[in-house]
Amino acid sequence: MQQTRLTPRVLVVIIVASAVFGGTVAAVGPFATAGTTDGAAEPSTAPATFTAPADAQAAGQQLAQTTQRPRSIDFLRVRSIGDGEYAYRFRVRGYVQKTRVNDGIKSESNDVLRRNDDGTVTVTGTTGNGLSDAYVVVGEIVSFRKIRGHADGELTLNGLELTRDELLNTETVEVVSRDEGEEVRYEIRVRGPVERVETEEAVAGDDDDRIVRNDDGTRTIRGVTGDQTGDAFRVRGEVLSFERTGGDSRLTLRLNGLEVDPETLGAGPGEPPDDGDGDNGDDDDGDDGDVVTRIDDCTVIDEPGSYVLTGNVRNADEDACIEVTVDGVTIDGDGHGIDGVDSDGSVGIAIVAPEDERFESVTVTDVVVTDWGTGIDVDGGEATTLRDVTLRDVVSRSNVDTGIHLVDAAESRVDGARVRDNGLTGILLEDSGLGNVVTGSTVGDNGAYGIVVFDGGRGTEVRDNTVRRNGRGGIATSNGETGTEISGNVVTLNDGNGISLSDSDAPEVRGNRITGNDASGVSLADVREGSVAENRVAGNGVYGISLRFVRTTNVSENVVRGNSDSGISVERSRENTVTRNVVCENGEPQISVGAESSDNEIADNRLTC
């Protein structure tokens, strides 16, 4: 039986759903720039509303009259199943508005919409006890995940109950070797983000399988498997083509659990690729004819342009293997490695801005850096400006000191990195400027901290990372940074504190899952005007949330459970607010306030689970 892809993007469908549910739905105007709002993100005109009539055709005519732009509209309902809280976060490429159907199906003030720098909208919401939140969505839902709560959730789009994968239009593709002792190499081209997964049959992608971002926005998976094992990937989008590139093993290709003929996905005869990506095998890399310079050894890059690493560099005994000293450079590692000899002070990839120059665009992708003093070092030094450095889908592991180090850099981004087994810190941002972001990365098994922001600039974001099993702590900030956001991270099983903030102004710790750390889950010391909200803090070795020398900080709507000492501890702190938290099954007292603390508001907290 052929599977039909779910694409419920028809305008009339929402009218039918609205008519079934009853109530009011908003039709919205064009986009405007937006920050955070508790309504829509964000219409330039006031929403026009209508009450759905019983007749779906009449409803369609009514909404058509009020809608100001000809885009399809979807109705998303998020319902909690069972007792307790269900908190979630999803992201939309397009437009979102909170809406109300009836008293049991409505978004409320605790459901927050935020416009992101990339134009998407992030929705962070909470429902519970069988109630539902409701949204109007114009565009594509690109991610959805539960962030805390004991209840389960149910997702309904336009009246149709969907799994998370169906909501996100995801596909799972598996490549399985059928012959013992033989391997198969392959390339899969997809449209949309990719992640390695493990299926119920224990088929799983691993670090040998590389995921490369292409110039046209697609991604290519370059993999190898063999000896009757397999690889599996989840694609949030569409699988476009499959090609065998080598190996003698027969293979089985499965899409969404069903075996498919590789020829239906454009599988070729397995001829090896030529030396270049263009039709003539030269350095022409893509349709636009841009020249790509190929490198296969340590070098200094002092000319702008695009570079690709064509092979592994092994046991290099250099102070810096690849040194970038000029603006306007893109390096594609193409999945290859740059390996050193564990020399203290050496650097795998060094991006060094010259003195008194502006340095505003360098990108490094898809490279594995191992056995250096520091894996990747980005240093603004005495430059006039160092900004817009992007490190995407890189691996930095087994280095003597630090995996990735950014110093004196602004508006730079570490995205999708895997940083592990380094002697000291995984990712270190030091003396940094405005607007740096660390996101979507896995940082673990480092000797000291996972991620450190030291003397960071305003607006640093550490979000949606997994930080685990680091030797001294998970995420730490110190020395006067302002407005750091730590959100949506999983911080678990670290020695020391899960999240530590010291000497910080206006930090925000929101929507994280902080569990099983040896010391406290969240530790704040000498913090002013901060916010710790909507986190799940459980099973940590000392306090759940600890405040020392903290002023005018809000601790609210957290679930703090099963920590060895008090759930929330307030010592030598004043003028803080601790409200609307669930604090239970911790050491007694559940909330402790030291004698030298004053003028703190402790109210409306629930002390039972």
Confidence at residue 44, expressed as pLDDT on a 0 to 100 scale: 31
Region of 59 (left: φ > 0; alpha: ψ -120 to 50; beta: rest) is alpha
Please check whether residue 415 is in contact with residue 441, taking contact to mean a CB–CB distance below 8 angstroms. Answer: yes
β-pairing, 368-370 vs 389-392, is: unpaired
Here the tokens at position 499 are: 């999240």
d(CA 95, CA 105) in angstroms, rounded, equals 20
Sign of CA dihedral 155, 148, 513, 75: positive
Residue owning tokens 């986190």: 535
Average pLDDT, 10 consecutive residues per value, the chain (609 residues): 34 30 33 38 33 34 35 81 90 88 88 85 91 89 84 85 73 86 89 75 66 83 89 81 89 81 56 38 40 91 92 92 92 93 94 77 93 93 68 94 92 93 95 86 96 85 96 90 89 97 93 97 96 97 97 98 97 97 97 94 95
* DSSP-H helix ranges across 160-269: 164-167
Beta bridge partners of 574: 551, 598
Tokens of 37: 């709002």
Q: State phi, psi for 135 to the nearest 5 degrees.
A: -140, 145
Q: Is the distance from CB of 540 to CB of 567 less than 8 angstroms?
A: no
Name the residue among 381, 377, 379 with its Cα closest to residue 402: 377
Q: Backbone phi, then psi, for 257, in 5-degree steps?
A: 85, -5
| Pairwise CA distance, residues 206 & 147, whole Å | 26
Domain positions in the chain are 11-165, 170-265, 294-416
Residues in the chain: 609
pLDDT at position 350 is 95
Q: What is the dihedral of CA 425, 427, 429, 435, to 10 degrees?
A: -160
Cα(22)–Cα(25) distance, rounded to whole angstroms?
A: 9
In the DSSP assignment, the letter for residue 192 is S
Structure tokens at 544: 């759940």
CB 392 within 8 A of CB 364: yes
pLDDT for 361 equals 85
Q: Find all residues with CB under 8 Å of 597, minimum gap 6, and list them.
A: 570, 571, 572, 573, 574
Give yes or no for a contact between 535 and 524, defined as CB atoms under 8 angstroms apart.
no
Q: What does DSSP assign to residue 43?
A: B
Distance CA 132, CA 104 (A): 6
What pLDDT shows up at residue 30?
30
* 408, containing H or E segment: none
Q: How far from the centroid of its chain's Cα atoms is residue 163's Cα?
A: 20
Q: Are 433 and 458 spatial neighbours (Cβ–Cβ below 8 Å)?
A: no
User: What's the Rg (C-alpha) of the chain?
Assistant: 26
Ranges of beta strands (E only) in 457-604 are: 461-463, 466-468, 473-478, 485-487, 490-492, 497-505, 508-510, 513-515, 522-528, 531-533, 536-538, 545-548, 554-556, 559-561, 568-571, 577-579, 582-584, 591-593, 601-603
Contact between residue 321 and residue 298 where contact means Cβ atoms under 8 Å apart: yes
CB-count exposure of residue 242 (10 Å: 0-12, 13-18, 19+) = buried
**Phi (first) and psi of residue 18, to 5 degrees:** -65, -40
pLDDT given at position 572? 95
